[in-house]
Structure 1
């Protein structure tokens, strides 16, 4: 049965490889997006931009809310991986 599935599955091999690569890229992107260290650095950058006047109070508040939400989601994801 293995040879038949290999023969019949051969045309799908490029697609399977493409899907695998796409999953790896997505996983790496999520890892970087939810990296707590990167989020904290971005929060510091927003704070500095607010102090220098580069962004308004309202813009800074919105950015900070988004970053804190990402940080909370990062914590939730880590906990769910630790306790499956």
Structure 2
């Protein structure tokens, strides 16, 4: 039965591989968007950019607000 099963499911193997890769990508994106450590690091980067004059205080405030919303809103 193992050989028959392998032959019958072989045509959908590329689809299953694509789904698996898609799930890995989604998990990585979720990590980047909602991981508290990543968000805190990005807030720090915004603070540093504002202090160095690379972005305006208004832009920094908007970016930090967006990051804080991600921090308090659960993924999903």
- Normalising by structure 2, we get a TM-score of 0.76
- Normalising by structure 1, we get a TM-score of 0.70
The alpha-carbon deviation at position 36 of structure 1 amounts to: 0.6
* Deviating more after overlay: 42-51 vs 3-12: 3-12
User: Structure 2, unaligned stretches of length 5 or more?
Assistant: none
Aligned to 2:58: 58
1:10 aligns with 2:31: no
User: Structure 1, unaligned stretches of length 5 or more?
Assistant: none
**4+ residue runs over 3 A deviation:** 2-9
Aligned to 2:29: 29
Please, what is the CA RMSD of the aligned residues?
2.4
The alpha-carbon deviation at position 45 of structure 1 amounts to: 1.4
* Structure with bigger RCO (C-alpha 8 Å, 6+ apart): 2
